[in-house]
Amino acid sequence: MEAVIAIVALLFVLFVALGVYATVKAVGAAKRGVDRTLTQARRTVEDHTLRAKSFAQLGPAGELAQLRLKLRTSMRATQDALQAVEAEDASLKESLGLFQRLSAHGHELDGELKRLESEPDRARLAERLPGLRERTERITQSADALRWAARDRARRFADDDLDTLSAQIDVESGALRHWTKTEPAAAPPPWPEASPADTGPAQQTWPETPRSRTDEEST
């Protein structure tokens, strides 16, 4: 009896532990989902704000907003493109590593541009713009190159797979239509062998004409 009670108690503890674990996992997943949603919403709001500033503000302030918007759009598009094909192509790990290094430069530049948005010295800001513009161009060009290379590679794999699939379908279609193939004509049956009586020398006989028969009777 004591063994049964111990087993029941052990099972109860296990069920409670599993319930607590499942609850913690569910809460953690929900929290991560909420964090992702808040982060995405914050980015969307910030992008719309930058787009509005790039049109509404003139001079260095407006150009700073344009540079930030260009940088963030290019980096985010490259990140999404690489992550989309990462699970299908293991050879992109090196490309992801390069993008992580490039992202560090991008985040540094984005932070610097954001701080300069509140810079009151417009003359000093105008002097810094050429260097900031060049850095933004270099980072976005590198990001665009990675993104398009990953897309071209994925499209190449898709084209190769489609060619292979088309060839297999053509073979299968031909196998399904086997009844349309022309069957070889059957060989004619062999002639029967000649009988022993017919094995002698062949003689050609012509029918007698009526005139020759009359001459023979008169003699």
Look at residue 101 in the predicted model and tell me its pLDDT: 94
Name the least confident of 5-9, 66-70, 127-131: 5-9
- Judged by DSSP in three states, 87 sits in coil
> What is the Cα–Cα distance from 151 to 77, expressed in whole angstroms?
11
Q: Is residue 78 within 8 Å of 95, Cβ to Cβ? A: no
What type of residue is 180? Answer: T
Question: Which among 66, 95, 200 has a CA at the least distance from the CA of 153?
Answer: 95
Q: Classify residue 127 as left (phi > 0), alpha (psi -120 to 50) or beta.
A: alpha
Provide the mean pLDDT of the chain: 75
> What is the Cα–Cα distance from 153 to 54, expressed in whole angstroms?
35
The residue with greater pLDDT, 8 or 95, is 95
Q: What is the pLDDT of residues 184-205, one digit of tens each?
A: 666 667 766 656 555 555 555 5
> What is the Cα–Cα distance from 10 to 15, expressed in whole angstroms?
9
Radius of gyration (C-alpha) of the chain in whole angstroms: 45
Question: Which among 68, 73, 74, 43 has a CA at the least distance from the CA of 147?
Answer: 74
Provide mean pLDDT across the span 124-138: 92
Q: Which pair of tokens denotes residue 161?
A: 């797979």
> What is the Cα–Cα distance from 126 to 145, expressed in whole angstroms?
29
Q: Which pair of tokens denotes residue 123?
A: 């003359």
Q: What is the pLDDT of residues 34-52, one digit of tens each?
A: 555 655 556 566 666 666 6
The residue with greater pLDDT, 155 or 188, is 155
Question: Which among 104, 102, 91, 82 has a CA at the least distance from the CA of 148?
Answer: 82
Look at residue 74 in the predicted model and tell me its pLDDT: 93
Q: Is residue 78 within 8 Å of 92, Cβ to Cβ? A: no
Model confidence, pTM: 0.55
